Amino acid sequence: MLHAEHPFLDTIETSCQSTNLPDCSNINAFQTSELEKLSIAIGSLTYYKSLTERIASSLLLGAGTDDFIFTERAKKLLFCGSSLTLDKSGSIISANFCRLRICPMCQRRRALKTGAEVFRIMDNINSSWVHLVLTVPNCEFHQLSDLLDTMYTASSRLFRYGPIKKAFNGLFRFTEITYNYSADTYHPHFHCLVSVDKSYFTSRKYIKSDTMRRVWTAIITSALNGVDIRRKSDAWIDDIIATLDDDLLFQIHMKKADNSAVSEVAKYCVKPLDIGLSGSALYEPLHNIFYALHGRRLVQTYGVVRDTARLLKIDLNSDAGDEVEENRLDRTNVRCYTWNRKKGCYILLSE
């Protein structure tokens, strides 16, 4: 079931219609039956599969015959999740997912997995949390990749700046790119979840938004001007801060993190239907974002967050799927589905 007019990927989970509705005639069944769970899982997969297919068709249309490599990728996207095996609880046992970063089907599963892993790491750290967003002005496509490189270097230097290093015990840094279709510009930015002492908000370590904004602007503008910021001292940065023009400060957002901050940061690096285009017009921005993100680690961890992730053996950049691990496999009662493109739904092959 396709909700084409809905711009956000995140809000549709509950509105999907299943093609395999559960039997609700048993009013004594208070708990969700296995069949019902399976049908919800298939219903939600159907929605994302339809989205993926629509984006793949747009990309194929836009790529034409010139862009052979990207056309192959779009084909991969088109066939993503076309055959699924689910166990009796509705968990995916095996599937042919494409794992491309611009695929809604794969993004959704990745976001759910990342969110769960972030919560697990946070649960194991006894601290308060700050949600920090670092931005730069929008850029043109040809600047995007270099700008991302500079932002990576600059943010690492920012976290080593004396007062910030003292205040921040560790953090997650997520890369996100949004696209402004009216100006045809790209907006790369970082969402960070920062671990701070529980007493942080009333302590002397507390860093004001304005201070953070000045330090970030000083570091990133110097880096953009070709300065090797990794080798510059805090005193050197302080001198730059003193010369900053108030009107040219870059935007940052910093506030105490609540639960919604986690879902916000863990979601997607790019939201295809959020960029305001459809059909072949989707090709160029998605093609550009795909190449800018290609091969990058989108999640970086520092300090206590990095240590805790290692301890828990969590790799947030892992491309491993969410399929049930081999040793937990229950091969009884598996259901195999195949995607029917004409009907836009999954067909049950066998039980």
Residue 2 CB, nearest distance to Zn ion (Å)?
17
If the CB atoms of residues 95 and 167 are measured against Zn ion, the closer one turns out to be 95
Alpha helices in 134-282 (DSSP H): 141-160, 162-167, 209-224, 234-243, 259-266
Helix (H) or strand (E) holding 140: none
| Amino acid, res. 307 | D
Nearer to Zn ion, 77 or 212 (CB): 77
- Give residues with Cβ within 8 angstroms of 216, minimum separation 6: 134, 154, 158, 250, 252
C-beta of 106: minimal distance to Zn ion in Å? 3
Min dist CB 145 to Zn ion, Å, is: 23
DSSP symbols for 83-120 = EEEE-TTS-EEEE-----TT-HHHHHHHHHHHHHHHHH
In this complex, which beta carbon is closest to Zn ion, that of residue 97 or of residue 174?
A: 97
Minimum separation from the CB atom of position 320 to Zn ion (A): 14
* Other beta carbons within 10 Å of 237: 20
The footprint of Zn ion (CB under 5 A) covers 80, 97-98, 103, 105-106
User: Least distance to Zn ion from the beta carbon of 152, Å?
Assistant: 26
CB of 94 to Zn ion, least distance (A): 14
**Which of 38, 49, 119, 94 lies closest to 324 in space, CA to CA?**
94
Of the pair 106, 309, the CB lying nearest Zn ion is at: 106
Q: Which is nearer to Zn ion, 73 or 189 (CB)?
A: 73
Following DSSP, what letter does each residue of 239-300 receive, concatenated?
A: HHHHH--GGGPPPEEEEE--HHHHHHHHS-S--GGGGS--GGGGHHHHHHHHHHHTT---EE
Is the distance from CB of 151 to CB of 159 less than 8 angstroms?
Answer: no
Report, in Å, the least distance between residue 46 CB and Zn ion: 14
**By C-beta, is 105 or 133 nearer to Zn ion?**
105
Nearer to Zn ion, 42 or 98 (CB): 98
